Amino acid sequence: MANNTSIQLSPLMNTYARFPLTLAEGKGSYVWDINADKYLDFTSGIAVCNLGHAPEPVKEALENQLKKIWHTSNLYHIPGQKKLAELLVENSCGDRVFFCNSGAEANEAAIKLARRYSQKIKGTDSVEIITFKQSFHGRTMATLSATGQEKIQDGFFPLVPGFQYLPYNDMEALEQLEELAPCAVMLELVQGEGGVIPADEKWVKALSDICTEKGILLMVDEIQTGIGRTGKLFAYEHYGIEPDVISIAKGLGSGFPIGAIIAKEEAARGFEPGSHGSTFGGNPLAVTAGLATLNTILSGNILEEAAKLGDYLHNKLFELKKKLGSIREIRGIGLLIGIVVEGNALDIVNKALQQKTLILTAGPNVIRILPPLTSTKEEINSFIDTMEIVLQSN
């Protein structure tokens, strides 16, 4: 029984340092708090609301599905799964799809698939998976063990064994792959939580070539970069490579929890009935949201416009950098942008909040910008005006 106390304590665990803001409504690039104050949201729910808040096609599809059936479990066929899987396969280099609930679960599935493929299909005892320093792959025990950041792992020892971390974008470090003989390599093509650091194209190509030559599975974590965030459906398309496994989540459901891995046929042989599963993964509501989201992105010119908008935002930020000494660097791809600043990034985020604009950090001195793919130039201009005010006062 809980102890009685005169101090009002929250029943929620103390896991989030929340901003002093309660959001009650959202539409497009804007959200409104409980006082009806309007904010420009350039976080997109951390790269989730790629079509903006409450996009009509997704809303209508979900409302229709709510009248039918919500959940069945994966003991039975779910038609929407097949349709969404077909759409993902048609628009990627993969052949098979497994659905789950989140990005961490998608990366867990990728890790399990890699190890099981190595042991059961290839008949080897190789279980090591190479990831990279400053990477972020999730907060479950396996995915935080895969993450190359000590602050994420702090207090959770012993970690899950079988992960080794190499320096990111380091060509010489790739020479260690033959000696380490891993079953797989997992990487982000833009390290989002690690500072919005894009992978070097030559380095990625060299890594891909080594994996192909040595029979190492190449697994790309597209949790944050996927579903149009970089101006292409998947970030790997910028690099001219074909991963064996792609993990996705965030932007796939427009805010409805859904994740997936897309695997090439050979890698997918690692799973068979009973080797992996999920009660909720890919249930009728989840795949309805995913289908409506993906169809909306693919049916129009959203990807093309998002790429143009990303160029426009980058150019505007470079112009601002010339005016202000507090911006040290601008990096990223498409609408996943990092602004390296002088001083504390969180201070700038808080000042932007006071100006009714929502942005994020990606480390102590990096601001992360994640506008909806459907943003307008007028909204970009408004954001730039706010950043000029905020950075001048910093």
Question: Which amino acid is it at 272?
Answer: E
Closest to 41 in 3D by CA, of 62, 9, 73, 19: 19
Give SS3 for 66. Answer: helix
CA 305, CA 301: separation in Å to the nearest integer? 6
Segments making up each domain of the chain, as ranges = 56-299, 301-374+384-394
DSSP letter at 336? E
Do 56-299 and 301-374+384-394 share a fold?
no
Contact (Cβ atoms closer than 8 angstroms) between residue 179 and residue 313: no
* Phi, psi (rounded to 5 degrees) for 341: -120, 160
Q: What is the CATH number of domain 301-374+384-394?
A: 3.90.1150.10
Half-sphere exposure of 230 (CA within 13 A, CB side): 25
**According to the model, what pLDDT value does residue 219 have?**
99
User: Tens of pLDDT along the chain (394 residues)?
Assistant: 455 555 678 899 999 999 999 999 999 999 999 999 999 999 999 999 999 999 999 999 999 999 999 999 999 999 999 999 999 999 999 999 999 999 999 999 999 999 999 999 999 999 999 999 999 999 999 999 999 999 999 999 999 999 999 999 999 999 999 889 999 999 999 999 999 999 999 999 999 999 999 999 999 999 999 999 999 999 999 999 999 999 999 999 999 999 999 999 999 999 999 999 999 999 999 999 999 999 999 998 999 999 999 999 999 999 999 999 899 999 999 999 999 999 999 999 999 999 999 999 999 999 999 999 999 999 999 999 999 999 997 6
Size of the chain in residues: 394
Q: Which residue has the tokens 């929340």?
A: 18
**According to the model, what pLDDT value does residue 178 have?**
84
**According to the model, what pLDDT value does residue 3 have?**
53
CA 327, CA 348: separation in Å to the nearest integer? 12
User: If you write DSSP's letter for every residue of 154-169 in order, what string do you get?
Assistant: TT-PSPPSSEEEE-TT
Q: Which CATH number fits domain 56-299: 3.80.10.10, 3.40.640.10, 3.40.50.12780, 3.40.50.620?
A: 3.40.640.10
**According to the model, what pLDDT value does residue 313 have?**
98
**According to the model, what pLDDT value does residue 4 have?**
53
| Contacting residues for 345 by C-beta, under 8 A, at least 6 apart | 361, 362, 363, 364, 365, 366, 367
How many CB atoms sit inside 10 A of residue 157's CB?
Answer: 7
User: Which two tokens mark 357?
Assistant: 């604009």
**According to the model, what pLDDT value does residue 1 have?**
45
